[in-house]
Every structure is written in C-alpha cells, then in structure tokens.
Amino acid sequence: MTEIAVTGAAGRMGREVLAAAANREEIEVAFAVNRTSVDELISGVVVESSDNFAELLAEYEPNVVVDFTGPESARTYADACADVGVALVTGTTGFDDDGLDALETASESTAVLKASNFSRGVAALRLAVREATAALPDADIELTETHHNAKRDAPSGTAKTLLDDIEGVRDDLSDRVHGREGEAPRDDDEIGVHARRAGDIAGEHEVLLGGSNETLSLAHRAGDRSIFAEGALDAAEWLAGQEPGWYDFFEVIDDA
C-alpha cells in the first residue's frame, strides 16, 4: 500500500488525482490540502488547509506527495517534503530557474520526480520527436500547443520539454520564436513556437518538420486529464521507498 498526500485538491488535476486514487486498491490518500477553503468532500476525502501542510506531513507520514499546483506553492511543498524525507511527485509547470534549483536542492534530502507531462503517449511522442529530428537534420521545425483557457503558463511545460528534446539533437537550433507578425522571414536557427488557449482542451501538442517537398507531423492529443493523474499515481507508487535523488518519468515507464 502506498499512502499519498495530494496538494491543490480542489484544482483540475487535484480532483483528477483523488478520483483516480479512489479506484486504486494499492493507493490510500492520507490527506489532501488546498490553498483556499473547501467545504465539500472530494472523492470521499476531507480537504485540509495548505497552511497546515508541514504539520499534516508530520502527523500522517505519507510515502509520497502528489503535487499539481503552481510554482511558488510547489516550491513550498518541496521544502516541507525535504524536511521530513517524504518523496515528491510534481507535475507543476512554469518554474523559473530559482524554482527548479529549489526542487533540485530538495532532491538532496528526499526523492523528487518532476515531469512536465505524465502521459505515456507524450513520453512516446518525445522519443519519436528525437528520432525524427535526428533523421531530418535540415528540416524547419514548428511546435504548436493548445490548452484550456485557464492555463497560466505559456508555452506549456510539455512544449518546453519537447523543445529541449529538439535542441538536444539539433545544436544548430537556438532561437525559439514565439509567434510571428508583420515581416518575419524564417531564420535557419529558429524553432517556431505557438501557444493557443481555448475552451476546456486538456492538451494538444504537435511538432511539424518541414523539408523539401515533404513534411512530417507528430502529434499527441489528450482526451481527458485522467491520463495525467493515472501516470502521476504510477510515478508515486514507483517513487515510494526510493533513495533521495532526482528522478524522471521515463524511469517509471522503463520499470513497468
């Protein structure tokens, strides 16, 4: 049995994680917190104030905290996890360099697994994009991502991860151009990046590689946010009991 704590319990992903956990016999929710007050039960779980997070960690001693919140709150949760040696799985995006440094510092004291996306399909997309980028070394590359109208960070964390993958293969691409307007001829060293926000779209990512007389399009579309919650719970089960350190979702998939 893996005991988890869930942050941001009343948010889109917090609710998904609690709902997914309720259907897993091998996972038990020790407690859940939210920044603002919540009067309702969420998937049968009483939601506490995040102001008491450190005290709740010490009281319930969960194996893993599952976090989908914001950069500042995730950093606070990571610090608290490091203080008591509770592992952390976070799908929060939008970190600046200081925020990422804080997570890496926390990983010196406890196991931390950060992923911009917990979909196995996106993991497969990342591998395919790397292969395609290597196979088409002269292609122009454009990336488009689409999410719901309440998403705060742009481009998405998944888009940034895909861009890192591309630039890791093509060291001649160093300029991320976000949209175009007016006279904007394409430079050889650029990757076009386009972020769209509309409706309640769970997440869509497409990488377009264009060459002479041919184009290749690689895309992933999430039909429901539950796939991210299931992946995060897979990661939580895998991470429980791991030594302090920085871990990757590919490690979870490889061990499946």
Positions annotated as catalytic residues are 147, 151
Q: Which residues contact 137 (CB under 8 A, 6 or more apart)?
A: 170
Distance separating alpha carbons of residues 128 and 191, to the nearest angstrom? 17
Determine contact, residues 218/207, Cβ cutoff 8 Å.
Answer: yes
Q: Please state, as a whole number, how many other Cβ atoms lie within 10 Å of the Cβ of residue 32.
A: 28
Given the DSSP bridges, would you call strands 64-67 and 2-6 parallel, antiparallel or unpaired? parallel
Distance separating alpha carbons of residues 110 and 83, to the nearest angstrom? 8
CB burial string 157-177: b at 16+ within 10 A, e below? bbbbbbbebbbeebeebeebe
The distance from CA 29 to its chain's CA centroid, rounded to whole angstroms, is 21
Distance separating alpha carbons of residues 205 and 194, to the nearest angstrom? 10
3-state SS, 123-180, equals HHHHHHHHHHHHHCCCCEEEEEEEECCCCCCCCCHHHHHHHHHHHHHCCCCCEEEECC
CB burial string 90-99: b at 16+ within 10 A, e below? bbbbbbeeeb
Closest CA to 152 of 70, 73, 222: 70
